[in-house]
Amino acid sequence: MAVHGFLVLRERAVEIVYPLPLQDDVEAYFPLQPSPPAGVTPSHRWVIEVDGPGTFRVSSSRSEAMIRHRGLAEALCQVMVEAHGDLIAGFGDDALLLRAAGVARGDRVILIPGQERTGKSTLAAWLTEKGFRYLSDQVVAVRDGTTVEGLVRPLVVRPDAWSRISRFSWVARNARFGDGRQIVAPPACSGQAGGQTCGLILFVDFQSGAPPRLERLSRARASTLLMACNGSASDFADHGLSIVTALAAGPPILRLRYGSLDQIEAAQLDGVLGRLSASDQDAGSLEAAISEVNAAFQALSRHDAVALPAPIPILSPLPGRSPGDVTLTIGMATYDDYDGVYFTIQALRLYHPEVLSNTEIVVIDNHPDGICAEPLKKLMTSVPHGRHVPYLTRSGTSVRNRLFEEARGSVVLCLDCHVLLVPGAIARLLAYVRQHPETGDLLQGPLLHDDLTTLASHWIPVWRGGMWGIWGDDLRAHYLDTEPFEIPMQGLGAFACRKEAWLGFNAQFRGFGGEEGYIHEKFRQAGHRTLCLPFLRWVHRFARPLGAPYANRLEDRVHNYLVGFAELGLPASEMRAHYDQFMGAEASHRIFTLAYQMLAQSAAERGTAV
């Protein structure tokens, strides 16, 4: 059953159609009405449909094109941007559309104009946390140069801003989805700002780490900046200049430069802005308020200049161990990747010194006759408790079994030889194991993408691009102190478990691929869990501009999938159907025929049946 809702702004409407099971989610993000205003015909229709497990498709009345999305967040982001664009197109000749965020207190609005990446959404979210009413993070309408109407829409948060905004309680409550761009439902107190007076115009300039400053802008300069934010100039004979000029002639106009939310928090900027917007200000009181804020900023800067970072606590050994014993094995398998091993090991030594006294570092060299072998051996002689282990018996995914065989620690942390861990992650991992000394769970953490902000907490178990699993983002992973939670699967660039609890990769695995999802289901079938520990964050080098030194064959991956699925009793029909679509039935048939031949050969060598 489909639900029809209408997004309305004055005498304009856009229809949004979606399945009934999505009603709570969609209506949390869109202030929809059950019908358009009398006499109003919707200008466009947007339709959201379920395309498959975790996937959705979006279509529009203006085009026959249909766009597929991974996750509801992506679909809602597209509909939100496009539908609001339809709503404000040709808005009218009595209201000017400005690219601006807006919040209100009482009957006064604080207008925060600006282009992308200026920090206006972050500031609006912070003021909302402080009790202001959220109006918009992107578009407002200004009529007759004095009154403001906010186009209520979800807050769209870019990955680089999420770490700042996710701390707010209203954001945490209302951000239900994540796919790189987070979207946050408007707070329940939000509403249209029709007829409300603009009490303050505040331009913002956010630059991470920059010293803060609040200053007054001339009305001429403000008019120029406002025209740059004008979104409906073509609707006016004078390009909207008269409305912009009237707007700039009224309220106080300020510009805020800031480098962190802690700066404006310490200066209690919300209280100052609330006072300035509440009533008309004379020049003296306005300058006094600006001086008050800048004095607080200067005091904060002096404090920051002498502040020292807190020392990293030294953790005690695991129970039952003497101080000199190894309690943790950090290991990696490598095939001619000296640079990756070097930087991973040196990062461990530089950024995790608090755990090294009870830690060994083991490198399983899967090409001990290769060009990198001698430099690796030499490197490991300089690493306390370091070992270089040559291994030629097998190659590929299952080499990591050898690491658990070699490990002398009771806890094993397995890393790809090009993975970096955030400071404190290993210490907290050991603390977790001390609290759960008998755990048999597989322990992992969120991947940090190259921007060091965007997270991937797990893999979603669907087929795409010849692989089982796509990156997913659970909002709980964005908070370091969130309790560990179960995940279906995750990339194996970083994982840990007790040595005695390791269940191992199937000995028949060949080459690379097929281990994600397989090992997670193996732990579950054994009665254990696969957990995301939000603090165990890792960065993975994916790019290989010079190419990989080893063969990564699709035939091996399919072989491993078939071996793993057979071991766990999982059906392979969906896998086969995906490969038929992914590479064509003929090519898929060749790959699977070869994989089954390899399985038959292995079975014959073992004297067993396929």
How do residues 500-525 score in pLDDT, each as one tens digit? Answer: 999 999 988 888 888 999 999 999 99
Instruction: Specify the pTM.
Output: 0.52
Asked whether 428 and 312 are in contact (CB, 8 A), the reply is no
**Range in 14-28, 90-104, 358-372, 568-582 the model is least confident about:** 90-104
Give the H/E segment covering residue 331: strand 328-334
Report whether pLDDT(309) > 50.
no
Rounded Cα gap, residues 591 and 573, in angstroms:
15
What pLDDT was estimated at residue 605? 65
- Domains of the chain (ranges plus CATH)? 2-88 (no CATH), 95-306 (3.90.228), 328-546 (3.90.550.10)
**Range in 145-149, 246-250, 254-258, 540-544 the model is least confident about:** 145-149
Rounded Cα gap, residues 532 and 64, in angstroms:
41
Structure tokens, 209: 């780490």
Asked whether 98 and 111 are in contact (CB, 8 A), the reply is yes
Starting at the edge strand found earlier in the chain, the sheet holding 2-9 runs: 2-9, 12-19, 45-52, 55-60, 63-70
Q: What is the mean pLDDT of the chain?
A: 83
Among 95-99, 467-471, 593-597, the range with the most confident prediction by mean pLDDT is 467-471
How do residues 394-415 score in pLDDT, each as one tens digit? Answer: 777 778 999 999 999 999 999 9
